[in-house]
Amino acid sequence: MQPPVPGFQSRPFSWPTRVYWEDTDAGGVVYHAQYLAFLERARTEWLRARGYGQALLRDDHGLVFAVRAMRIDFRAPARLDDALDVSVALRQCRRASLVIAQDIHCDGRLLLDAEVKVAALDAGSFRPRGIPETLYEELKSLEQGAQ
């Protein structure tokens, strides 16, 4: 396990990204499915900042996380060259699942909010399994109430 980023727990997690040509449709607006990639990358970097990269979870703990359900509200479009901030907040940590709230902002404007339900799976069988105790305790300490 890598050490967590100092002060991480005391501040919200936000992952910056930029909109490129490959993210947009012919009109220069972000294609709706691309938002899923932005959200996924932010969740991955949130875990990495805690010291749990995806490869480490799979190789050392036999654990993978998989999206089980997602609710997305598209509020405003992102466009070519926009600088986005993608946030991650853990709403609920259970023994074998997480509920994560995510937002995407551009210049302080809310573009999208989502609730992502994630299942903990055995890396070999892809069957549900418990989150390893150390990670579970750390995630549980990051839980934020529904807002």
The residue annotated as part of the active site, out of 25, 59, 60, 73, is 25
Note if the pTM is more than 0.85.
yes
Q: What is the pLDDT of residues 45-74, one digit of tens each?
A: 999 999 999 999 999 999 999 999 999 999
- 3-class DSSP assignment, residue 58: helix
Token duo for residue 89: 């907040």
The runs of H, that is alpha helices, within the chain are: 34-49, 54-61, 133-142
Place of tokens 């305790």: 137
- Does the structure show a pLDDT above 70 at 7? no
**What's the distance, CA 116 to chain centroid?**
8
b/e sequence 33-48, b meaning 16+ C-beta within 10 Å: ebbeebbeebbbbbbb
| Residue reference for tokens 């036999």 | 62
Note the pLDDT of residue 120: 97
Residue 8 pLDDT grade (very low, low, confident, very high; cuts 50, 70, 90): very low
What does the radius of gyration of the chain's CA atoms come to, in whole angstroms?
16
107 is catalytic: no
